[in-house]
Amino acid sequence: MSDFLFGGEFEYEDKKDLDELLNNLQPNVALRILLVALNHASKQGAFDILESHCVHKCLENIEKNEHQDSSIHNTDNNGDSN
């Protein structure tokens, strides 16, 4: 039986599963959880329109930088590999 957080937007199996996930977070997973949490908070009216805009722009910037960092190409500068 699954449990949910953030208004049902985040599912986990049980407390042990959640603890394991949180104790071994990868940066991309942490970002996704924050996105879900902030989306849920926004839907609940936690932010006014200017605050929502600020949060959105910050997350947009983080995601853009994350995609740039993860787009490392397998460039062979030495000519000695595939």
- CA gap 48, 26 in Å, rounded: 30
- pTM of this structure: 0.68
Token reading at 56: 């959105």
**pLDDT, tens only, 6-57:** 999 999 999 999 999 999 999 889 988 998 999 899 899 999 999 999 998 9
3-state secondary structure of 10: strand
Looking at residue 62, its pLDDT comes to 84
Other C-beta atoms within 10 Å of 59: how many?
15
Looking at residue 69, its pLDDT comes to 67
Tally of CA atoms within 13 A in the half-sphere of 59 that contains its CB: 17
Sequence letter at residue 8: G
- The angle formed by the CA atoms of residues 68, 5 and 53, to the nearest 5 degrees, is 50
- CA gap 47, 55 in Å, rounded: 9
